[in-house]
Chains A and B, each alone.
Chain A
Amino acid sequence: MTPGDALRAALVVLAAAMLQVVIVSSLTVLGGTADLLLVTVCCLGLLRGAVVGAVAGFGAGLVVDVLTLDTLGASSLVLTLVGFWAGRYGETTARGTRLPPLVAVGALTILAAVFATFLRVLLGEEVVAEHALVGALVPALVLNLALALPVSSLLRTVVRPRSESPSAAEVELVA
């Protein structure tokens, strides 16, 4: 990853975090809100691999925690795992398939909600699990899936996908 790519990826994550906290979180549709940041981290992981996904997730979570004065590290932990898993999926199973953003965003929205609920319970916060895992999750899943393809397309234009190692076209035997 070149410094230019890294800078572009960092700016995208920062912009997504800002938009999420200031605008997207206040737009309630069907009783839930979209998670633009999760979708962005997920798509970035798919494009650039597990390490970049995890680092982007950590940074994005840190910005959100700082902006919302929440427990520092709570969002980072969830988004680090999201970025890493999306990256691993992109590096392995998703190769050659057509809809990795939809599959990854769908699966990781559910897993992230379950893990975040578990984490909040561990931190001693009162959590209404029915609301977090049913009432808010279903609309969030629909909205995140709707965002997945546009965000993925946008990210492809801003951050170049990781170059695949080219398969050997021919072999030269050196005596």
Chain B
Amino acid sequence: MLASVVLITLSFRAGEDGTAWDIEAVGSTLLRPAAVAVERVAQPFRDAYAWADGLLTARSEADRLRTEVRELRQRAIQSEFALRENEYLRGLLEYIDGPRFPAGYDPVAAEVIGRPGSAFAQAVVVAAGSRDGVRVNDPVVNADGLVGLVVRVSPRTARVQLLTDPRAAVSALDLQTDAAGIVRHARGTRETLVLDRVRKRDLVRVGDEIVTAGWRVGALTSLYPKGIAIGVVTSVGQTDTDLYQQIQVDPYVDFGGLDAVLVLVPKGRQ
């Protein structure tokens, strides 16, 4: 017990510069091959379970996806026109912008090799670390959208705080109406998010898409680049006593089924 208390004290007080962190980084590097091996062995079984589970909803899912593809095809055509127009106007203005997603980043693909089992931390450990260019505060995404943020890095592994962690918060926008707010976890539920701090006069509708805002104020910029998909609004409400609207967001990312992620490393970082 005494040894545990000493380790907690060392780890807690020294942060990432102390002996405890060095021990942890070395241990993590040594155990990484074994964790990767176990993950590789488990992956086919996990895939088989997901395949069998998917069969139950395959028909309804296929119908829904066909409808979605038709809608997205129309929007892709409109977006293409908007993109050309946007590039032309930026050229005219000599517009200075921050790193843009995905063009301003080098994605580092990383396998998820660990998940803390406790009910306290919503995090995963990925098999990429400082030797791969990953640093603390690098954003992490997958094909569905925003996953979270790198919070600790060892030479060969990194800990990613998920968006559903109580300590995570992201500046976000309603893609359809530009209403701004902060996405954070919904208290009491594990995989639901809320869009907080949205003024009552701003318009947000059920079904609207929420994306990262990627703000910039002087030298300060958001940790997350602009335009990464977060989720879709599932409910909107407000009471007379609250200053802000109560908006629930269903994330696009399945945080329980993460197998691999992309860590976004800004281009040109030394």
B116: chain A residues at CB < 8 Å are 21, 25, 64, 68, 70
Are B35 and A18 within 8 A (Cβ)?
yes
B27: chain A residues at CB < 8 Å are 62-63, 66
Cβ of B118 within 8 Å of any chain A Cβ, yes or no, is yes
- The interface size of chain B toward A, counting residues with CB under 8 Å, comes to 49
Are A73 and B6 within 8 A (Cβ)?
yes
Are A21 and B117 within 8 A (Cβ)?
yes
For the complex with contacts A19-B38, A26-B115, A67-B114, 18 further pairs of A-B residues with Cβ separation under 8 Å are: A22-B35, A22-B39, A23-B39, A25-B115, A28-B256, A32-B119, A35-B117, A66-B23, A66-B24, A68-B121, A68-B159, A69-B28, A70-B159, A73-B6, A73-B7, A80-B4, A130-B188, A140-B119
Instruction: Give the residue of A81, A113, A128 whose beta carbon is less than 8 angstroms from that of B187.
Output: A128
How far apart sit A19 and B117, CA to CA, in the bound complex (Å)? 11
The distance from the CB of B66 to the nearest CB of chain A, in whole angstroms, is 29
How far apart sit A63 and B116, CA to CA, in the bound complex (Å)? 11
Are B117 and A73 within 8 A (Cβ)?
no
Cβ of A58 within 8 Å of any chain B Cβ, yes or no, is yes
User: What mask results when residues 9 to 24 of chain A are scored 1 for a CB within 8 Å of chain B, else 0?
Assistant: 0000000001111111
Are A126 and B24 within 8 A (Cβ)?
no
Q: Which residue of A lies closest to B157 (CB)?
A: A69
A37 and B120 contact, Cβ closer than 8 Å, known pairs A66-B28, A71-B11: no
Are A77 and B256 within 8 A (Cβ)?
no
Are B188 and A63 within 8 A (Cβ)?
no
B173: chain A residues at CB < 8 Å are none
What are 6 pairs between A and B in contact, CB < 8 Å?
Answer: A21-B114, A68-B121, A68-B159, A72-B24, A126-B166, A132-B119
B267: chain A residues at CB < 8 Å are none
Seen from chain B, the residues whose Cβ lies within 8 Å of a Cβ on chain A are 1, 3-12, 20-21, 23-24, 27-28, 31, 34-35, 38-39, 42, 46, 113-121, 123, 125, 152, 154, 157-159, 166-167, 187-190, 256-258
B23: chain A residues at CB < 8 Å are 66, 72
A131: chain B residues at CB < 8 Å are 119, 188-190
How far apart sit A5 and B124, CA to CA, in the bound complex (Å)? 33
Q: Which residue of A lies closest to B129 (CB)?
A: A69
A21 and B35 contact, Cβ closer than 8 Å, known pairs A26-B256, A135-B188: yes
B7: chain A residues at CB < 8 Å are 62, 72-73, 76
A113 and B5 contact, Cβ closer than 8 Å, known pairs A22-B35, A28-B256, A67-B35: no
Cβ of A61 within 8 Å of any chain B Cβ, yes or no, is yes
Instruction: Give the residue of A22, A26, A70, A76 whose beta carbon is less than 8 angstroms from that of B121.
Output: A70
The distance from the CB of B119 to the nearest CB of chain A, in whole angstroms, is 4
Are A18 and B257 within 8 A (Cβ)?
no
Residue of B46, B117, B158, B257 most packed against chain A (CB within 10 A) = B117
The distance from the CB of A30 to the nearest CB of chain B, in whole angstroms, is 12
Q: For the complex of A and B, list the 3 residue pairs with the smallest distance between their C-beta atoms, beginning with the closest.
A: A73-B7, A66-B27, A77-B4
How far apart sit A70 and B10, CA to CA, in the bound complex (Å)? 13
Q: Which residue of B lies closest to A65 (CB)?
A: B24
B166: chain A residues at CB < 8 Å are 125-128
How far apart sit A130 and B159, CA to CA, in the bound complex (Å)? 25
The distance from the CB of B7 to the nearest CB of chain A, in whole angstroms, is 3
B12: chain A residues at CB < 8 Å are 71, 123
Q: Which residue of A lies closest to B34 (CB)?
A: A18
Are B125 and A69 within 8 A (Cβ)?
yes
Are A21 and B115 within 8 A (Cβ)?
yes
Q: Which residue of A lies closest to B154 (CB)?
A: A69
The distance from the CB of B151 to the nearest CB of chain A, in whole angstroms, is 8
Of residues 131 through 167 on chain A, the ones whose CB sits less than 8 Å from some CB of chain B are 131-132, 135-137, 140
